[in-house]
Structure 1
């Protein structure tokens, strides 16, 4: 008994010290790594070492053929073009051909939103660097066919170049060496001890501060990135002086994850080998009969603006946030998701994150957003989901797993949606909210009026009173439409102003006529009780630009 009391006393004493202690490093290595990591090795290639292919391209036309493996067209007309080449048709396959003699190396294809490649009728798949390997050199001109997958606004083929295999491999190796040098400098600069250690390998550093993801009703996933292959532990508790519970961390290729019970994790710190982090806090604003949360979309690499948006969100004290797609500007670049996590850390509440078309960038080998899934999801976790908070029930959909955009009848997601929206959990919730990146209605830009497929999927349900609110992004502005029907009314919101470049004020469709349109950076704040749902759109300066109340 005395021994047990002694051990508990030591644990409490140790935890008390954690409130004031300094971590091994003063902060993450993010600021040291970011200028280097945001650049791909492809961007550092000497100009004289690449063969730019701008001439000789044939534009074969465009189509809206459905399916991930669209049929190769037989064009009636061929237009000779020079790159870059763009056309203003969303949700389209855009086809190009050329004849090229290619030595062993890599072909880099820049297209909006992505591309597939065939050489002499055989499909060539993109590698992890984002280039297409040319393994069988040709002495005679080879038939090159490129399919550009365009999901939004103008799309097409913008840049193609060839680079020798040894040149790119050397650039990749140099990039890795530069990363190691930056890490060593970060450790020395951020070290909090009096004397530098003899062996830095005993003191791994993390790349970004942790971010919180909700998992189920009662659990949180704490996640961050850091040096690979390190045994790690996470310690947590509900008071800064009582951080006594320990769990082992799962590490996969430098991604660290721990599942913890929501009600018991208000404070935590982690260990990575001999490294100890600072103490981190999770904001707990949970309520049972009401809820307040922030919604945002299309941060899309506008990091300075997004950081300011997050600061304004924090003032609103949300219970959680929902990011409705296009979280990064280039889903091919894995570092953008590290940057996203680093920004989200400043708002230490759970974040529900959904995929948009740019999160699918570079995914067109298998139509899986690999970087999005790797950094933000658990393995085998779907990108559509249902959850409840207070008086609200939520369904989040992902139409980007199909092309053109939509949720196909008979698909796994379609069947899941049909079953979920008729459950008692959905029917009994006072407020029923749908999140989907592409909006059913929008005056976004000339030639775009929203997604007809999303309209067709949801219309029966909103007209029967089973949907109160549909929230989207995709269009980089704020738009609001409230439709009345025989069972009440349904509000449609576009909250696409969290950081990406705003839509041109002089370029929008006349129809459908939205009730409000503001082309300014913003986010949404929702406060819901059983009888009322209050919404505010708040701009980057903290000013309310629009508001409304739905009542039951």
Structure 2
């Protein structure tokens, strides 16, 4: 049972009135420039980690030596590596650019909530990572549309203060935009954080790098950011799912086919049919293009995907939907089909990580009834799930160069709310539709 103070906080949070912040933002900042830093050809660079199934972590790094082994040594004591794992590697060509050797090695099984020390390719520095917990509480940091500006650097510094277990990124990573070495500098920028905690990502429009005669428009993204699609029975790196503690997270592809006859839609139905809300009482979904957006930017771009998939997510009683694309922040009430709905999802737009294109300043007036809070500032989110029913969401504005909490609310999950029972028949009907 919750104590009376927590009940009061929850009630007050749920009564927050709609608001548009009048915060006056500082001016834009420049794109970061990275000095040339020559390293030995076998030296591991751009190290990042991601979840790779239960009790397993995928470690990814790049070397300029194509013969460097895809081996990770690891253990629970510094420089005392008790286990070794061998993985795979790849590389790609893109016009006149040729990538380094990109290594992907899965280690495990690992203990939950445990610090590990590891070394890539048998040389270079020692890194350390912490595995997520197996039970509540668990904390996610959330920020999309990162890029490589001085605002990005501020965002990353503030995320580092978050004490998060997993980072969620709803698309638009490097803003390489065909300039392939920007993928390399992005990897170096993220390494201090992404080598220590799992980063789980999905694609945005800036990951699409289509040129004539290149079949895979997501070639750089798919080569560098390998997600656990095989573990979730998805055949695409553009959409997948995973579990953390008592949370099931679904990453959808705004730029993969999503109509009712698409592989992604069929996969989503199959994935939702396996969700056990007693084991994972929280259900989160991420994709790039927001469905609920009162900003003037990117109006209506997510409407087709919403028309197809929102009934499915509503029937499954999804708790939270995170999106990016719009370079601003916005949080909704629980909503479905454009109206407040106690069994709908809370939609949060958080495409404000620090991109080079700047902020989306203009909002539509009057503010829609479903919109609770909106502000055009750079920032990041912190989602701390305390137990099977209660979680604290905070959005921290980064524009002050300090980590300032600008929006926060307690969110009660739909687990145990009566919505699951109410929607059970509706979900079963959708799942059996051809």
- Where on the TM-score scale, by shorter chain, does this alignment land: which range? 0.7 to 0.9
Change in 2 beyond 3 A, CA 1:363/1:294 = farther
Unaligned runs of 5+ in 2: 1-32, 92-100, 230-234, 414-434
TM-score, normalisation: structure 2? 0.73
- Confirm whether residue 325 of structure 1 aligns to residue 163 of structure 2: no
Change in 2 beyond 3 A, CA 1:488/1:411 = closer
- Note if contact 1:443-1:510 (Cα within 8 Å) is conserved in structure 2: no
Structure 1 vs Structure 2 CA RMSD? 2.7
- Confirm whether residue 300 of structure 1 aligns to residue 147 of structure 2: yes
Correspondence for 1:311: 157
SS in 1 for 2:331: strand
2:359 and 2:329 map into 1 onto residues whose CA distance is: 10
SS in 1 for 2:130: coil
1:26-47 CA-to-partner distances (Å, cap 9, x unmatched) read xxxxxxx945xxxxxxxxxxxx
1:408-440 CA-to-partner distances (Å, cap 9, x unmatched) read 221111111122223243575321111011011
**TM-superposed deviation, 1:228:** 2.9
Correspondence for 1:267: 117
| Mapping of residues 258-407 of structure 1, within 5 Å | 258-261=105-108, 263=110, 266-271=116-121, 276-302=123-149, 304-347=150-193, 348-362=196-210, 365-366=214-215, 368-377=217-226, 381-402=236-257, 407=258
- Note if contact 2:50-2:199 (Cα within 8 Å) is conserved in structure 1: yes
Correspondence for 2:408: 547
Residue of structure 1 aligned with 2:73, choices 231, 235, 240: 235
- Note if contact 1:449-1:512 (Cα within 8 Å) is conserved in structure 2: no
- Note if contact 1:297-1:496 (Cα within 8 Å) is conserved in structure 2: yes
1:456-494 CA-to-partner distances (Å, cap 9, x unmatched) read 134324544611111100000001111355654421100
Highest CA radius of gyration, 1 or 2? 1
- Note if contact 1:324-1:355 (Cα within 8 Å) is conserved in structure 2: yes
**TM-superposed deviation, 1:542:** 0.8
TM-score, normalisation: structure 1? 0.58
- Note if contact 2:73-2:120 (Cα within 8 Å) is conserved in structure 1: yes
- Note if contact 1:226-1:255 (Cα within 8 Å) is conserved in structure 2: yes
| Mapping of residues 124-523 of structure 1, within 5 Å | 186-187=38-39, 204-206=41-43, 208-232=45-69, 233-253=71-91, 254-261=101-108, 263=110, 266-271=116-121, 276-302=123-149, 304-347=150-193, 348-362=196-210, 365-366=214-215, 368-377=217-226, 381-402=236-257, 407-425=258-276, 429-445=280-296, 448-449=299-300, 451-461=302-312, 463-464=314-315, 466-483=317-334, 487-500=342-355, 501-506=357-362, 508=364, 512=368, 514-523=371-380
Change in 2 beyond 3 A, CA 1:551/1:326 = same
Unaligned runs of 5+ in 1: 1-32, 36-181, 188-202
Correspondence for 2:13: none
- Note if contact 2:331-2:347 (Cα within 8 Å) is conserved in structure 1: yes
- Note if contact 2:87-2:104 (Cα within 8 Å) is conserved in structure 1: yes
SS in 1 for 2:255: helix
Correspondence for 2:422: none
Correspondence for 2:12: none
Correspondence for 2:232: none
**TM-superposed deviation, 1:367:** 5.4
2:106 and 2:288 map into 1 onto residues whose CA distance is: 27
How many correspondences in the alignment? 349
